Amino acid sequence: MLKIGRHTFASLFFECSGSFLISIATYNIVLAAGFPMSGFSGIAIILHRLFGLPIGLTTIALNIPVAFLCYKVIGRAFLLRSLRCMVISSLMIDYIAPLFPMYTGDRMLAAIAAGVIIGLGFAMIYMRNTSTGGSDFIVMAVKATWPHLKLGNIVFAFDFIIVLAGGLIFNDLDGIIYGVIVNYLLSVVVDKVMYGLNAGKVAFIVSDDGKRIYSAVSGCCERGSTIIPAVGGYSGQPRDIVMIAASTKDMYSIEKAVKHADPNSFMIIMESNEVHGLGFNVTRVAEASRPGVSPRRRETPPD
């Protein structure tokens, strides 16, 4: 029961914090600057500017049919978590955000600030494998169906249509540009915050003694490695290629240890967008949402 309580508390903390950031950026920056917003919040802002409807309650109303349509794809557990987060964010937009001052400065600064803040808010929510509903239900359904697609790219493609519609309705071409900037920054921040946690480096080391390299790496930072037999193209002599996946901060220590163990070794270090397995953070979004699909197990490091 203690573990369940801690997990629930952590989820509520991230959902409330992310919803607060989204509500402040949406109401106090985007609405004040007058440019179109993406997602169902963008549709709610359009209705608010046309008819004075409350943004949060309108968002909830728009969510109801989408929730029923996407229920089978995203699953009951994800739907319930998202509905909870949606209610939190909607109430914050209508009742918490108005308590703070509206931003009245430069529209470009407003677009940059809104994109970054909303991106951080969504990333905090997505990392708990939930969403704020609305277009997120559709986005997560796409993510569950095609898990290889990046979340930020899906969000950008879907929400661009809403931004374009908002700009055309109010005849604000500059607003479309600012809306695209917000949308782009949002998607970049979401991907950087979420998938940046899994980023790292991969090193390929060519050496005459792969065991010595393995021992040096294991001794300096306790990272596993894979020794691949190889043959020198010119000399025809046997060589070892040692493959190591490590975090960015560990790679500097690995480089020093390898050079000390074998000064004649040849090392190639490359960036890795994602590294999954023991010793690395694993971010899962919308996995196991489809019936019959179970979450991927942790991969083990090379040994």
- Domain residue ranges in the chain: 2-196, 200-272
Residue pointed to by tokens 């010793």: 279
Residue (of 97, 88, 78, 122) closest to 32 by Cα position:
97
61-101: pLDDT as tens digits: 988 888 877 777 777 888 888 889 999 999 999 999 999 99
Kindly report the CATH number that applies to the domain delimited by 200-272.
Answer: 3.30.70.120
Helix (H, G, I), strand (E, B) or coil at 20: helix
188-242: pLDDT as tens digits: 898 888 776 666 789 999 999 999 998 988 888 777 888 999 998 888 889 999 9
Question: What dihedral do alpha carbons 293, 280, 132, 122 form, nearest 10°?
Answer: -150
Q: Residue type for 149, please?
A: L
Angstrom CA distances, 123 to 127, 155, 225, 258, stand at 6, 12, 32, 37
pLDDT band at 295 (very low <50, low <70, confident <90, very high): very low
CB under 8 A, 24+ apart: contacts of 248-255: 248/199, 248/200, 248/201, 250/221, 250/223, 251/200, 251/201, 251/203, 253/220, 253/221, 254/203, 254/217, 254/220, 254/221, 254/223, 255/203
**Which pTM value belongs to this model?**
0.71
